[in-house]
Amino acid sequence: MIFCATVDDVCYEGYSTEAHLTNLLALFQELGLPATLFTVPLAQGIPLGERSGYVDILKQAASGGHEVAQHGLEHDRFECGVPPRMIMDLPHEGPARERLARERDAIEAALTTPAIRQRLAQGRRIIEDALEIRIAGFRAPCLSICDNLFHALDQEGYLYDSSRHLQEAGWDLLNGVRPAIPRPITREIYDRLQYPGRLRTLPLTAEYTWYLTWENFDVTMDLAQHDFRACLDAGIPFVPICHVSPIQQGEDECGFEFYRRLADFARAEAGRRGEDLEALTLAAAAAKAPSATRAEASVQ
C-alpha cells in the first residue's frame, strides 16, 4: 500500500513561510514519510532562485529523500485551467469568483495548449535552475485544470500530474456542508482519470488539515480513514494533501496531531490487511505504481 504525503503552496506568500516549511519537514522526518513539495516557481513575481532561504531548505529536503515538484507558475487561479466548483465555493475565493464571472470568455480563450506549455516550461526552468534538480511532477494551483493542461503536460514530458481529486467531501467539510457524505473511491474511477498518453495521473484524495479545529477533528479523521481504506481496497496510492502554513495555523496546531494519528492508523490498517505501508514520493509512486492499471483498463 503506497502512501504519498504531499504539500502545496511552498513559497506562496500567506500560505507558506520558511519557518513553517522547516517545522513541517521535521514532522515528516518524525513520521518517516517522504513528502512531495509542490513549489510555486514565481510566487509574488519573485523567482525561486532569489529566495535563498527557501532554496537552502528545498535543496536539503531534496537530498534528504523528499521530492520538489511544480505548483503552477505564479499561482494565478486561472493560469492552467479553471478551479473546480468546490474550490471556487471556499469563503476566501470571493475575488476569484468575481473575476471568473466577469472574464470567463477571456480566461478560457487564454487556455490554449501552446500558452500552457510556455507557462509550464517557464516555471519548471525556474525551479530546476534554482535547485539543480529535475522536475518530474505537477499539481495545478487550486486544482485548476482543463483538457489542454493534460495535453501540455504530456507534450512537455512530465512523468505525472496530481491535480485531480477523488474525495470531494473533504471540501464539503471546509464549506460547511453537513453531512459531508464520502464519495466512493474505486479503481474504476482511478482508471478513468488516467490520461491516454505517457502522463501518469496520481489523484489526491482530499485536504484534511486546512486550519483544522478540534470541533472538526474527528469527522475529518473519519473521512481520511475512509479514504485510506478505499484506496487500500482499490489498490491505488493514498495521496493526502496539506498546505505549508494552514496545517499549523489551525487550533492548537492540531493538523500535526492529525498526521501523527493518520500515519499510525495507516500503518496499523495496512498491517491488519497483511500489507506493508510504503511511504513514497509521488515521483517514486509514479515510476513504480499502476502501469498495469492502464493495461487492465484497456483490456476490459
Question: Which spans of this chain sit near Zn ion (rule: CB under 5 A)?
Answer: 8-9, 141
Tell me the closest approach of the beta carbon of residue 195 to Zn ion, in angstroms.
21
Q: Which is nearer to Zn ion, 123 or 290 (CB)?
A: 123
What element of type H or E holds 261? helix 254-272
Tell me the closest approach of the beta carbon of residue 146 to Zn ion, in angstroms.
17
Amino acid at site 134: R
Tell me the closest approach of the beta carbon of residue 193 to Zn ion, in angstroms.
20
Query: By C-alpha distance, which of 150, 149, 180 is closest to 167?
Result: 180
Q: Which is nearer to Zn ion, 230 or 244 (CB)?
A: 244
Q: Which is nearer to Zn ion, 9 or 191 (CB)?
A: 9
Tell me the closest approach of the beta carbon of residue 207 to Zn ion, in angstroms.
10
Beta strands in the chain (DSSP E): 2-3, 5-10, 35-39, 67-70, 137-138, 160-161, 200-201, 241-243, 278-279
Tell me the closest approach of the beta carbon of residue 8 to Zn ion, in angstroms.
4
Tell me the closest approach of the beta carbon of residue 196 to Zn ion, in angstroms.
27
Q: How many of the other CB atoms lie within 10 Å of CB of 97? A: 14
The backbone torsions φ and ψ at residue 12, rounded to the nearest 5 degrees and listed phi first, read -90, 115
- 3-state secondary structure at position 67: strand
Q: Which is nearer to Zn ion, 9 or 161 (CB)?
A: 9
Tell me the closest approach of the beta carbon of residue 18 to Zn ion, in angstroms.
17
The backbone torsions φ and ψ at residue 72, rounded to the nearest 5 degrees and listed phi first, read 70, -155
Q: Which is nearer to Zn ion, 71 or 277 (CB)?
A: 71
Query: By C-alpha distance, which of 225, 237, 243 is closest to 174?
Result: 243
Q: Which is nearer to Zn ion, 9 or 67 (CB)?
A: 9
Q: Which is nearer to Zn ion, 116 or 289 (CB)?
A: 116
Grid cell 482530499 is found at: 206
Tell me the closest approach of the beta carbon of residue 71 to Zn ion, in angstroms.
6
Q: Which is nearer to Zn ion, 8 or 172 (CB)?
A: 8
For residues 200 and 106, what is the distance between their CA atoms, to the nearest angstrom? 30
Cell of 214: 478540534
In sequence order, the 6+-apart residues with CB closer than 8 A to the CB of 213 are 250, 251, 254
Query: By C-alpha distance, which of 133, 116, 283 is closest to 200?
Result: 283
Is beta strand 241-243 parallel, antiparallel or unpaired with respect to 5-10? parallel
